[in-house]
Amino acid sequence: MQTHIHNNNIIRAALLIMSLLINMTNSPAHATGPQKIFYIRPVPDNDDPYLQQGSDGIKQAAQMYQMQATTLASQADRAGRQKQLENAIRLGANIIVMIGYEFRELLDTVPRTAPHVRFVILEQCIANPPPNLLCISFRESEASYLAGMEAALVSASGKLGVIGAVKTPLKQKPVDAFIAGARSVRPDADLSHIVWIEGSQPFNDAARAEALAKSMLADGVDMIYAAAGSSNNGVFKALAGNSKARAIGSYVNQCPRTAGRVIDNMQVHGDTAISLAVAAILAGSTATRIDYGLKEGAVSLTGISTDAAYSDCDILRQRPVLQKLREASQAIIKGKLKVE
């Protein structure tokens, strides 16, 4: 990784080398067929691009490690999710991957019923995880810090807003980092517009997000960090027709579908994290917690990633801003800049 945050080619090359080492240690005489990896969606199939990364991640892992990959979509309730987890166990899963806070209430029970299966959950965990559960967290704060710098550097009014999904310690941390990043380049920035959607569907309530965004815009906010999953669509709708305000998206590249309303994104690469976790498991890791960030290519800012030229993000026109972001990202990766 040179001056860019995210380099899929380097990550994939490293994983390929690891896969070759893993395969060399497996004796063909003891082969019993390919291992099975399952991804359990928390809800039925929809257009959520982050949830799609679960399917992409297990497919990547299956290709690299000669596994059999299957995705099962759950009905949107606890019973439906538990049923699909049990189906995966019954079908002979060796590794089961989950994405979503919806699985949290099942993490202490289902894995204990199948100690021979390794369970992987992204962005969730419990106090005392079972030994066969691996909780993956992302150092979102690193990329959120950069997003805060970017918002402050681009804003004309100095008024920045954040719309998050649900206020938990896990989600508050990257918001705090966003604020710190903004303050680092613009100490006088107005950061009083921090709101949370909450409710029963905080990640899928576009109407609520739209109302919150409109309130911010009416108060002069011209840069909004949209960090609320699919609810972000409401933020982008509120920005339609506004020639002065823009947003920074989250989790995936949301520039192409928003007609210039999103200038950049704080991305989380769940597919990369899944591949890294599978490599660790196959190599014998028994860890129950692990985190990935800029250094591992698991989080990034779209505008300074290696494939930024294909992103359709307007931030590419502001080279001085991009240079400052590249320098800060390298400082974080090298440990010279600490982001809590």
Q: Which tens digit of pLDDT belongs to each residue from 105-119?
A: 999 999 999 999 999
Q: Can you give the pLDDT at residue 139?
A: 96
Whether pLDDT at 17 is above 90: no
Q: Can you give the pLDDT at residue 48?
A: 81
Whether pLDDT at 13 is above 60: no
pTM of the prediction? Answer: 0.85
233-256 pLDDT per residue, tens: 999 999 998 999 999 999 999 999
Per residue, what are the HEC states of the chain? CCCCCCCHHHHHHHHHHHHHHHHHCCCHHHCCCCCEEEEEECCCCCCCHHHHHHHHHHHHHHHHHCCEEEEEECCCCHHHHHHHHHHHHHCCCCEEEEECHHHHHHCCCHHHHCCCCEEEEECCCCCCCCCCEEEEEECHHHHHHHHHHHHHHHCCCCEEEEEECCCCHHHHHHHHHHHHHHHHHCCCCEEEEEEECCCCCCCCCHHHHHHHHHHHHHCCCCEEEEECHHHHHHHHHHHCCCCCCEEEEEECCCCCCCCCCEEEEEEECHHHHHHHHHHHHHCCCCCCEEEECCCCCCEEEHHHCCCHHHCCCHHHHCHHHHHHHHHHHHHHHCCCCCCC
Q: Can you give the pLDDT at residue 8?
A: 52
Whether pLDDT at 26 is above 80: no
